[in-house]
Amino acid sequence: MSAILETSELPAVFDGVKLAAVAAVLYVIVRCLNLKSPTAPPELIYQDSALARFLLKSCPLLTKEYIPPLIWGKSGHIQTALYGKMGRVRSPHPYGLRKYLTMPDGATATFDLFEPRSEHCIGEDVTMVICPGIANHSEKQYIRTFVDYAQKNGYRCAVLNHLGALPNIELTSPRMFTYGCTWEFGAMVNYIKKTYPQTQLVVVGFSLGGNIVCKYLGESQANQERVLCCVSVCQGYSALR
């Protein structure tokens, strides 16, 4: 009789284990996808000025609540993984010319130059000098997409290829890109200023590139000449965290 009772209780034990496993999986999914994180408008930190008020009026999205796509939209890690593996549907392939610059230490810096495909809305010559994220270059999908939009809106684009990032470009000196070195970016900017003496610059940096462009602009007043503005996208502030 005892053996019969013990056998009849086993299904209940297994059901409990299954429920616990399902609950654990759901908990991990909720935590990993940040499904419980609240939505809110972005936190804006700025000094009140006529320019700041103009930007806020011109870009109302800056003050509106951001509601990301359901399920995967609240997790930056999931977004990065999906975009890295799947990319955008029909990701554009803008055509550009690759430029090579020899640095004082023998390193070969490269950047890709993309000419505008339409006239700028204000009729000016404006060049975006772009610094991609860590180990990235002009052939990455997010850079191609950004350049494609910029070209269509009348911007020339110069995109730095970090040292050692392009698989078909060999290193010609015993160093690769670092978090703090602005030499290659500065060489690209100087090339653009010399080649297009009438152009104005919009400086753009993504992730690691945001650190580099901000450091570059702060290194000397001369680096800020002809710069209309600087945009730092998803910039990191501590490489140790």
- Domain assignments of the chain as residue spans, ordered by start: 11-84, 93-233
**pLDDT at residue number 14:** 61
- In tens digits, the chain (241 residues) has pLDDT values of 444 445 555 566 567 778 878 888 777 777 777 777 788 888 898 999 998 999 899 988 888 988 887 777 777 777 777 776 676 667 889 999 999 999 999 999 999 999 999 999 888 999 999 999 999 999 998 999 999 999 999 999 999 999 999 999 999 999 998 878 999 999 999 999 999 999 999 999 999 999 999 999 999 999 999 999 999 998 887 767 6
Close Cβ partners of 27 (under 8 Å, ≥ 6 residues apart)? none
Against a cut of 0.85, is the pTM above it? no
Q: How far apart are CA 74 and CA 220, in angstroms?
A: 39
**pLDDT at residue number 129:** 99
First CA to last CA distance, the chain: 61
Q: How far apart are CA 184 and CA 163, in angstroms?
A: 8
Sign of torsion over alpha carbons 83, 87, 91, 93: positive
Contacts of residues 95-104 at CB distance under 8 Å and 24 or more positions apart, as own/partner, are 96/138, 96/147, 96/157, 96/159, 99/188, 99/191, 101/184, 101/187, 101/188, 101/191, 103/173, 103/183, 103/184, 103/187
* CATH 3.40.50.1950 fits domain 93-233: no
Q: Which residues of 112-150 are buried (b: 16+ CB within 10 A; e: fewer)?
A: bbbebeeeeeeeeebbbbbbbbeebbbbbebbbbbbbeb
